[in-house]
A and B are shown apart, each in its own frame.
Chain A
């Protein structure tokens, strides 16, 4: 069953470049969909369209049957979409723990002080619940627990990637959009990140849309692959089928 669907989505940048050109695709629930292609193929734009950072000129984006047109990022995260953007995902000036707390800002009642709500029957998201969620994150990402009071600026590349994924998970999303999570990481760390992505999909049932330059690594873990070129879908198939297509690999994926 597909959770996210693009139906004829077109987006044109202010400078006239067509970043997405009549894109139709779907991402299956609880599966990993890899979005591949060269620089400028429209991969990042595609994710930005899902999380509401940009508005397509034409076409529809549907999440679980609901049209997402016109929603802004603040609403999209509440609808269950967590977007981990490329590169600057860590708020370097905040501590590790503060970064994680930012991840819970979309929770119901996040605008009210937990103390004021404690004791009310059915009070959503009590302080205890937040603490539990933080503990859970530290349990899963142990290196972060040791550095919770440190500024995020002091983290290594791998720890930063860990932190942004942990923060995204704290929003309790249904869909996780990952933009180049392996960028700039050492091969061993990159493998760890990829393992984590698999785990999130298999064990937690998250729907993951993974944008990657490293097509080989992405196809190795993905269920489904979509190849973009100059804003158009040039291939969409089972990940294994794509990986086996030598001509396609040479032409668009560079391996």
Chain B
């Protein structure tokens, strides 16, 4: 029973990280129908930026903030420089460009920061919390991880729903033609979408790295799980991304805990296949809107 609780809680924590990656993918997919394969690479790179800042300033929080800012800058810069020219071109062009970006980022990280595994500090204690003498399987930092992703998600959701900027982004995502004809500068809105995705990816990077070590490929697995979570939720839905992340995190935690961690990747693939067979649009895909 205690074991079950521990697996569940740590599943939720990892699930929130997958949710963050999934959310960053959804933000870009919704606006441009483009899957950003460089998302993990961007998060890895901004985490390296964080670690350099932390070593130089001695302040975790300075690194944390700089990483998030770097995520915003990186996302916006990529969109403006290399993604924008691929729009109005066949979809594969954009995909190839993001894969190219991933390769570029991993190469640059190797050159600038070296290829060895580096440990990444956590903001809070990573020793397990206990109730009485019962260990919960999660640490203070894990709680912070879950809370940080949750807070970011809620703030974003509220901004999308209740602000004019949010309405502009939704209008541009749902119907770019109407948005443009209504005076919304869609190209600029898409840049903002990439910037936000960069921010959330960077957040996922600094939150996951204390438990994975940091190296140029360190985000690859997280990206795959985040992608799986996004597809489970239905690539269009931010809520779906979070729920998909949580479901996957918990499921993989049980599998890793009870059956052995070698199986997690296989099970993630299995979950993906099953969801796609039963609900090809993902769990949260809106019923297709009939257009007249």
- Residues of chain A touching chain B, judged by Cβ–Cβ distance below 8 Å, are 51, 53, 72-74, 77-78, 82-83, 85, 87-89, 91-94, 98, 101-103, 105-107, 110-111, 113-114, 153, 157, 160, 167, 171, 184
Contact = CB atoms under 8 A, between A and B. Distances in A.
B181 interface: yes
A91 B164 contact: no
A55 B206 CA distance: 46
Interface of B: 163-165, 167-168, 170-171, 174-175, 177-186, 286, 289-292
A93 B181 CA distance: 17
Contact of B182 (A53, A102, A153): A102
B174 A110 contact: no
Contacts of A78: 183
Contacts of A114: 164
Contact of A113 (B163, B171, B183, B291): B163
Contacts of B175: 88, 91
Which 4 pairs between the two chains have the least Cβ-Cβ distance? A106-B183, A73-B180, A92-B289, A77-B183
**Residue among A82, A91, A101, A153 with max Cβ neighbours from chain B (10 Å):** A91
A92 B163 contact: no
B164 A74 contact: no
Nearest to B166: A98
A85 B180 CA distance: 12
Contact of B178 (A91, A101, A157): A91
A167 B179 CA distance: 11
Contacts of A73: 180-181, 183
B184 to A, nearest CB: 5
Contacts of B182: 77, 102-103, 105-106, 167, 171
A110 B171 CA distance: 14
13 contacts: A53-B181, A77-B181, A85-B177, A87-B291, A91-B174, A93-B170, A102-B168, A102-B178, A102-B182, A105-B164, A105-B179, A105-B184, A113-B163
B184 A72 contact: no
B181 A110 contact: no
A102 B171 contact: yes
Nearest to B170: A94
A157 B292 contact: yes
Contacts of B292: 87-88, 157, 160, 184
Contacts of A87: 291-292
Given A94-B170, A113-B164, A105 B183 contact: yes
A49 B168 CA distance: 24
A73 B177 CA distance: 9
Nearest to B171: A102
A48 to B, nearest CB: 10
B180 A105 contact: no
A74 B183 contact: yes
A103 B178 CA distance: 9
Nearest to A88: B291
**Residue among B177, B181, B182, B184 with max Cβ neighbours from chain A (10 Å):** B181
B180 A110 contact: no
**Residue among A74, A83, A85, A111 with max Cβ neighbours from chain B (10 Å):** A74
A93 B183 contact: no
A114 B167 CA distance: 14
Contacts of B186: 74
A167 B175 CA distance: 14
B286 A93 contact: yes
A86 B215 CA distance: 52
Contacts of A85: 177-178, 181
Contacts of B168: 102, 105
A212 to B, nearest CB: 17
Contacts of A82: 181
Given A92-B289, A94-B174, A105-B171, 7 more contacts: A73-B183, A74-B183, A74-B184, A87-B291, A101-B167, A107-B183, A160-B292
